[in-house]
Structure 1
Amino acid sequence: MLPVRFVLAVQDARYVEPLLNYVNGSPYGSSMQVTAFTRPDAFLQYMQSGELPALVVGDAEMLMAWFRLGEPPVPWLLLNESAELPAACPAGGSHTAKYQPLPRLLETISACCHGSRTLTGGGNGNSIGTGLQTGLTSVIGVVSPLSGCGKSTLAMNMAKQFAVLGLRVFYLNLETVNSSVLFPSGCNGMEGSFSRLLYDLKAAQEGGMENDLQVMPYRLRHQGLKCDTFEPSLHVKEIMEMTRSDTELLLRSLASAGRYDVIVVDTDGASGGRDERLQAVLEDAGALVWLLLDDPISMFKSGIRIDQLLQSGESFAGSLMKRSRFVVNRYTGQLVNNPPRQDIRIDCMLPYIPSWKQLQQQELLLMSPIYQREILKLCRQLLGDADSGLSDNRGELYA
């Protein structure tokens, strides 16, 4: 599953450092990201900077200083030296012994982290999950405010590499103009099936029969992607009339079918106004992969779009950054432009492939060994694979 992020706030560095070393050397190193603070001012500044962790773990002095700022926006775990929780603590947290065997402490922290994560990603109560546990489907949205940035190439290669890892994958293209039509599935007899599916989506909602909607008859096997998908539709007007509730029902129906571990959703780039399909993905996806380009315009547009979403008042705004991963495409060896926001960390660099500049066979976009190697690393990072060779799950200590 996706690594969870928690903050450790303890004034005693002699306590913090052994805990960080244990996390990095244990199996938790692939499933947890730790940011540690030993100074109250640095801790409080971080908690007010924007991105929120899944959990805050701290001693009484640090947590009490944080509580004085107002109602805690995330769950907390007090490292307590007594057997009782102080009466001054607000709701939304728990406590555990400060001094105990590290494996037992990490078990407690892990349980609190995963207990605080909503399986819906955005909290709308459906069955779409972020983890790849039995019975749950992980929805990963690939998003960008840019057109022509390689978003569909990324999404399709991710679907393929998740399948290579042995997962059951569905590739869902929600673009207004479906670019996956350039990659034939090799499956015949499904022409017009997506239009019929859209009709069924609307009919099920009008008749109050959402739970009876069957989407599996419309799926097909895409030989090139090694996963399931729907037949691409070029009826632009039909796609544009697809509402937020249509999209949510489609995602919910795919997830509840119990046939897929991962749904990779390819969204529209540079869509104007309020794209209801994109809004549904932003709400329901357990992870959002933002695609950036290393140029000033790309970084500027991406920053403005993210700022707009964070200030939109939508229910997903509070968890947006926590669920987001950031990928730079067409990387040439050195990142020239800074990320659009200070709280954005680049999680993956996808190489520039010169031979893609002029292509006669689109299938070659799914066959570059160099590109697919980096996509595989990204997929493993999203899954929290300890063998990915990535170093970004190491804890950070801020004095």
Structure 2
Amino acid sequence: MIPARLVLAVQDSRYVEPLLNYVHGSSYGSALQVTAFTRTDSFLRYMETGEVPNLVVGDTEMLECWHARGEVNVPWLHLSEGNTAISLMEDGKSTPKYQPLPQLLDVILSHCKRSGGTAEKLNAGNTPILGIVSPLGGSGKSTIAMNMAKQLGVLGLRVFYLNLETVNSSVLFPSGSVGMEGSFSRLLYDMKAAQEPISGSELSVTSYIIRHHGLKCDSFEPNFNVKEMAEMNREDTALLLNSLVSSNHYDVIVVDTEEYMGERMQAVLEQAGLLIWVLLDDLISVHKSGVWIDQLEQRYPALYESVRKRSTFIVNRFTGQLVNNFPRKDINIDGVLPYIPSWKQLHQEELLLSSPIYQREVLKLCQQLLEGSGIMAIQAGGGR
């Protein structure tokens, strides 16, 4: 994925250097290509002769000098201090100069996307659906799904995280939104109502979408009613997925599924453009994975052939060497994610989203999907 081009124009080198060091040492380095200036003359010369950036981020003095040169055709973001403001704010936006670096970089990425940067141009057709599936309970599927949603957002994509588990694991990670309690129950009602023959109405999900600040993407407020989720069938799931796709708000929809072949899982298998199968390298897990996929082939042979072409297999909790042979010849391991010993007796749920080692490997997986088999290149499955 090509990173967004950012010009940083700040006179204080004590501000610029720590920011650049953080970008280069974090996952933001893959999403942003930063050219920094602390001298006004060098900045102005670059803006006249250099490559046009997606966004200029600067302090008051630098931006005012730039604006004074004439027409400004590049989107910009003002780093404000206290009550200071520049004279031409109608063409740009402002954000505090001093704030936590991850928060500042998220603001910068969001402005890169709104200004017509790389991320907005990636989605040329239907929004791809990325299904995270596993034949095993406790395989770490939800941890992978949430970390992938977060890292795809860091890469500059507009991401929606959809959890279809009967017992929603993302409940452990509060979204930070307020006033949306019970909203998924109302959404389920709207799904059923939209399918009534006399309804004539289309399902709209916009009013139910929240911003999940921990995952850095959009989502729905989790549902706590297990019975309601159990009643969500294949048709409901297909309708919900199609509504998210047709909204045209997202570059990718990451779907976290159940670990058995229920109706919601079937809808995801039918509609996902890419399926990430999460496996474990131990004797019992390998056996169960083989049996589960055998059953899928026997019960739904046509669906299985389609699924096989859209599947990528990864081994989670990899310790350095694969010791088991998987029982099917059509299972080729495409990637691994590491075993994190500190997660064995986890008592702080936020650690699942903040392990530097795990985040680095998930980011690599996301980049491989973008550049290889390609989230952006995949087409819908049989149902869309």
Superposed displacement of residue 374, structure 1: 1.1
Q: Which has the higher contact order (CA 8 A, sep 6+)?
A: 1
The match for 2:235 is 245
Specify every segment of 5 or more residues in structure 2 that has no aligned partner in the other structure, as ranges: 2-120, 375-384
State which drifts further: 332-341 or 306-315. 306-315
1:284 aligns with 2:271: yes
CA distance in 1, matches of 2:302, 2:186: 31
Q: TM-score, normalised by structure 2?
A: 0.64
1:379 is matched with which residue: 363, 366, 372?
A: 366
* Alpha-carbon spacing, 1:341–1:190, altered in 2? closer, same or farther (3 Å): same
Superposed displacement of residue 212, structure 1: 1.8
1:162 is matched with which residue: 125, 128, 152?
A: 152
1:316 is matched with which residue: 303, 319, 327?
A: 303
What's the CA shift string for 1:351-377, capped at 9, x where partnerless? 000111122210110011111111111
For the aligned residue pairs, the C-alpha RMSD in angstroms reads: 2.0
Q: TM-score, normalised by structure 1?
A: 0.61
Instruction: Report matched runs for 1:354-393 at 5 Å.
Output: 354-384=341-371
CA distance in 2, matches of 1:321, 1:298: 20
Superposed displacement of residue 340, structure 1: 3.0
The match for 2:322 is 335
Superposed displacement of residue 332, structure 1: 0.6
Superposed displacement of residue 345, structure 1: 1.2
Instruction: Report matched runs for 1:14-29 at 5 Å.
Output: none
3-state SS of paired residue (1:260):
coil
Superposed displacement of residue 145, structure 1: 1.6
CA distance in 2, matches of 1:323, 1:373: 24
The match for 1:107 is none
CA distance in 2, matches of 1:174, 1:340: 28
What's the CA shift string for 1:24-50, capped at 9, x where partnerless? xxxxxxxxxxxxxxxxxxxxxxxxxxx
Aligned AA (1:363): E
3-state SS of paired residue (1:158):
helix
Contact 1:330-1:353 at 8 Å conserved across structures: yes
Superposed displacement of residue 385, structure 1: 5.4
Contact 1:310-1:320 at 8 Å conserved across structures: no
Instruction: Give the share of equivalent positions with the same residue, in percent.
Output: 67
Contact 1:210-1:249 at 8 Å conserved across structures: no
What's the CA shift string for 1:106-160, capped at 9, x where partnerless? xxxxxxxxxxxxxxxxxxxxxxxxx953242110111112111111000000100
* Alpha-carbon spacing, 1:318–1:357, altered in 2? closer, same or farther (3 Å): same
Aligned AA (2:314): V
What's the CA shift string for 1:154-209, capped at 9, x where partnerless? 00001001111111100000001001000000111100000000000000001465
Superposed displacement of residue 255, structure 1: 0.4
* Alpha-carbon spacing, 1:322–1:210, altered in 2? closer, same or farther (3 Å): farther
1:200 is matched with which residue: 184, 190, 194?
A: 190
The match for 2:246 is 256
* Alpha-carbon spacing, 1:210–1:343, altered in 2? closer, same or farther (3 Å): farther
1:234 is matched with which residue: 217, 224, 236?
A: 224
3-state SS of paired residue (2:174):
coil
Aligned AA (1:341): R
3-state SS of paired residue (1:292):
strand
3-state SS of paired residue (1:246):
helix
Superposed displacement of residue 314, structure 1: 5.4
Superposed displacement of residue 307, structure 1: 1.6
Aligned AA (1:261): D
CA distance in 2, matches of 1:314, 1:257: 32
Instruction: Report matched runs for 1:157-196 at 5 Å.
Output: 157-196=147-186
The match for 1:41 is none
Instruction: Report matched runs for 1:291-310 at 5 Å.
Output: 291-310=278-297
* Alpha-carbon spacing, 1:323–1:209, altered in 2? closer, same or farther (3 Å): farther
* Alpha-carbon spacing, 1:369–1:145, altered in 2? closer, same or farther (3 Å): same
CA distance in 1, matches of 2:122, 2:130: 12
Aligned AA (2:142): S
